[in-house]
Amino acid sequence: MPHRHARSRRSALYVPANNVRALAKIGDLAADGYIIDLEDSVSPDDKETARQTLTEYFSGGPEAHSERIIRVNALDTPWGEADLAAAVACRPDAVLMPKISSPEDIVDVEAKLASLDAPESLRIWAMIETPAGIARCRHISEAALERRTRLDCLVAGTNDLAKDTGTALTPDRAFLTPWLLEIVLCARFAGLDALDGVSNEFRDAERITAECRQGRQMGFDGKTLIHPNQIRPANSEFGVSEQDIATARRIVDAFSSPEHAGKGVISLDGKMVERLHLQQAEALLAKASMEET
């Protein structure tokens, strides 16, 4: 399996696969990724039509500069296998699998992709949105690490988690926080990206900004979105500020100077700075470079 390619994933907007007008607007928006959805946002009666619309979009649409991900229905549903076959034919960057609850779920998807002759570049994103998914998140990430699977990103499904557990979705998301942190921890362990769940209050600018800031502080790489109005705050909160860049460059420059050659710890602006901070600074500058492209 090829190595993962680092991408900026500050914002990932869900777009219903059966919404022709929304699909047509993708090229005019500034999200880092678009999750074209065949699952929750499409009713059972519209599944086949949505699949056809999806195929037409990918066959006739212009080349996208952002990532395009297709969320399919689970393989154990009446639509899952047909969705996955259609997705592979569209050649997106990734398929987003819902309700991943065990390492075996990833193995099953891998086998299906192999049988469909999916290109090696096609990645798997996994929604962690069930009690079983949270309980086995560590095992899912371990399997990705040990078996070098296509798994590339964990996506928090906060609405389903709240529904399945009876947990209240309070504005501060206090009751969900332990599970969200578990997703981030497991992603980091396996070298995966992690995206925060959606904010349902798409008309509340303060709410989406606060959730994005909270998600960034938790360690998420970005946030999944349900409305174009949420793209700007997500890109801003998960992006790299000019001040962050300046600080990172000072750290890199300091460790590069001859007087600090080979040192593990240096003093900079009255603070002790270690090589782990150098690694963080280099990663931040790399992220900033991705956001510019």
Instruction: Judge whether 160 is annotated as a binding position.
Output: yes
| C-alpha closest to that of 56 among 82, 78, 33, 24 | 24
Instruction: Judge whether 142 is annotated as a binding position.
Output: no
Query: Do 9 and 32 contact (CB within 8 A), yes or no?
Result: yes
Instruction: Judge whether 123 is annotated as a binding position.
Output: no
280/48 Cα distance (integer angstroms): 46
Long-range interactions of 29-33: CB distance < 8 A, separation 24+: 29/228, 29/231, 30/231, 30/232, 30/235, 31/66, 31/225, 31/228, 31/231, 31/234, 31/235, 32/7, 32/8, 32/66, 32/67, 32/222, 32/235, 33/7, 33/9, 33/66, 33/67, 33/68, 33/69, 33/93
Amino acid present at 269: D
Where is the binding site, in residues? 71, 129, 160
Where is the binding site for Mg(2+), in residues? 129, 160
Where is the binding site for substrate, in residues? 71, 129
